[in-house]
Chains A and B, each alone.
Chain A
Amino acid sequence: MQIDARGPRFGAAITLVVLLLVIYFDSAFLLAIQTLVWAIGAIAGPHKSPYGFIFKTLVKPRLKSVGELENVKPPQFSQLVGFIFGVVGLIGVAIGSSTVFLIATAFALAAAFLNSVFNFCLGCEMYLLLVRARLIR
């Protein structure tokens, strides 16, 4: 399936803001909401997540140019990577470790920043390295 390549990048920009708020307010609740968004994106695809819905209904109709299409699988995989960071952060909260919570959120923040500002999909790049290291197939 092909989706508008600008959608996931827009989603990464919102994610970046949300994660900045997570760190500023030290908010496990906000991280839980963001993790839920990642989960929806990982299962149904980023175009079906709330940020994808915002892009489709509010942003895309206002864009004049036609966006390039891309396969849904790469951004879907990066949503899964984000979800894993989110779960690790929430486990940190559950066990009372603010260090785990902050480090996991910081990694996700870096990935969202690279995606939104430099259009670099960290999750997609990690895929081949993980296969090479025999950590996934």
Chain B
Amino acid sequence: MDHWLLVVSVLALSSAFGLFLHFTRGKLTKKYSNEISFDQLKVGQELGMKATILQFKTEYCSTCPGVKRQINELIKNDEGISFYEIDAVERIELAKKLHVKSSPTVLFFNKAGLEEGRIIGAPKKDQLRNTLEKITTIEMEKTNAN
């Protein structure tokens, strides 16, 4: 009886955790900080003319190659968007500075180099496309306003 209680408890907690992940991961979340700009990160790459995407991966991230493939496919016809991939373990201090705790974490920077938001976990292609459209649209509106 005690054993079944244990099994039911473990499965209930795991289900709750799994559902939480299902509904929260892979979606655009608010930016963590605007205090660190892309240039200050010193990733050794140039900022994109419209936006810059930075993906943190690890050697043991099973979904990272798929996310990279999706991003490359989405931006292949847009030279204004730059995409870079960084190994979070090799750049662990940078990962800490940006509050990156899991992989993949995809950060979106506007053309000024400030973080507009991030997606933690593997995003769906539509989510990636919408996020990019949103960021580039905001930038266009800002340019037009000026």
Contacts and interface: CB of A to CB of B under 8 A. Distances in A.
Interface in B72-129: 88-89, 92, 95-96, 100-103
Contacts of B44: none
A128 B102 CA distance: 6
Contacts of A125: 102
A74 B61 contact: yes
B18 A114 contact: yes
A75 interface: yes
Interface SS, B side: helix
Interface stretch (B3-11, B30-38, B47-55, B134-142): B3-11
A128 B3 contact: no
B41 interface: no
Interface of A: 5, 20, 23-24, 26, 68, 70-71, 73-75, 77, 102, 106, 109-110, 113-114, 117-118, 120-121, 123-125, 127-129, 131-132, 137
Given A70-B65, A128-B100, 12 more contacts: A68-B66, A74-B62, A110-B10, A113-B10, A113-B18, A114-B17, A118-B21, A124-B58, A128-B58, A128-B88, A131-B58, A131-B89
